[in-house]
């Protein structure tokens, strides 16, 4: 059964990794999906092609959601393509680690402008397209929000802000039947993770050994949970932050 048939979803940062998997899962449930990307047109086009080959509907829209002009463009294109919106997945994000002595205004703003301000602006524009029947907003946060790690003061702060925003907006938007929840993954095997070298490091092995399920997540592990929050199966769930970490708690 297609639980999202007739629905329209925007997934930010959906050209690869978690975002790509989320876009494909929402499409498999019947949603028409806007696959947002900032720079990887080839990646976004590949996601759209996979969705269409599976019988779904999707379009790729380039927009840098760390900037207000990009956010406005994204939702204008969404309106042109589908005239409405039911689901927003705020997935676009960036992480960069630095010791305290190396933190600069640039390091701070690069992460806060996308992870926090971009999320807020995207949500602001999304609710303008969500009708009186309501909808669902899912924010991709992180385990480092409740459990910060060394050398990630800025990144951890952005994700703690996302969790606070989730609760605040769930209260504000609840009367409009718009649910707002956060999904907080632990380590996920993505292209970004491999680019850092962590995926092949001793740290990964230590993490796998300390995680009850004995592995790190795959993007599909996160996408399945996001899909649940998007459907009416989660119709009585809002203002929640769900750790999706294989049981990892420290």
Tell me how many degrees the CA angle 33-38-43 measures, rounded to the nearest 5: 65
Distance CA 166, CA 181 (A): 6
Question: Could you say which of 25, 37, 95, 155 is catalytic?
Answer: 155
The secondary element (H helix, E strand) that includes residue 90 is strand 87-90
Distance CA 114, CA 105 (A): 14
Asked if residue 79 lies in contact with residue 129, where contact means CB atoms within 8 angstroms, the answer is: yes
DSSP line for 1-26: --TTTT-EEEESS-SSHHHHHHHHHH
Q: Is 155 a catalytic residue?
A: yes
User: Which burial class, exposed, middle or buried, applies to 239 when counting CB atoms under 10 A from its CB (0-12, 13-18, 19+)?
Assistant: middle
Phi–psi pair at 89, nearest 5 degrees: -115, 110
Asked if residue 230 lies in contact with residue 136, where contact means CB atoms within 8 angstroms, the answer is: yes
Residues that are catalytic = 155
């Amino acid at each position: 059964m297609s639980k999202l048939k007739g629905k329209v979803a925007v997934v930010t940062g959906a050209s690869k990794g978690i975002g790509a998997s989320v876009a494909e899962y929402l499409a498999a449930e019947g949603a028409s999906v806007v696959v947002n990307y900032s720079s990887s047109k080839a990646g976004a086009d590949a996601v759209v092609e996979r969705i269409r080959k599976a019988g779904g509907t999707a379009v790729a829209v380039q927009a840098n959601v760390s900037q207000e002009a990009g956010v406005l463009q994204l939702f204008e294109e969404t309106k042109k393509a589908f005239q409405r919106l039911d689901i927003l997945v705020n997935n676009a994000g960036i992480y960069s680690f630095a010791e305290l002595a190396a933190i600069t205004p640039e390091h701070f703003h690069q992460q806060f402008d996308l992870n926090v301000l971009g999320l807020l602006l995207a949500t602001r524009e999304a609710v303008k397209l969500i009708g009186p029947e309501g909808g669902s907003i899912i924010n991709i946060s992180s385990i480092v929000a409740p459990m910060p790690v060394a050398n990630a003061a800025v990144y951890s702060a952005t994700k703690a802000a996302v969790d606070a925003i989730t609760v605040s907006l769930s209260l504000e938007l609840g009367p409009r039947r718009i649910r707002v929840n956060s999904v907080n993954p632990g380590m996920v095997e993505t292209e970004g993770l491999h680019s850092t070298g962590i995926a092949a490091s001793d740290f990964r092995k230590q993490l796998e050994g300390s995680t009850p399920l004995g592995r790190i997540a795959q993007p599909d592990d996160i996408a399945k949970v996001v899909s649940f929050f998007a459907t009416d199966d989660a119709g009585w769930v809002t203002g929640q932050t769900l750790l999706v970490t294989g049981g990892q708690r420290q």
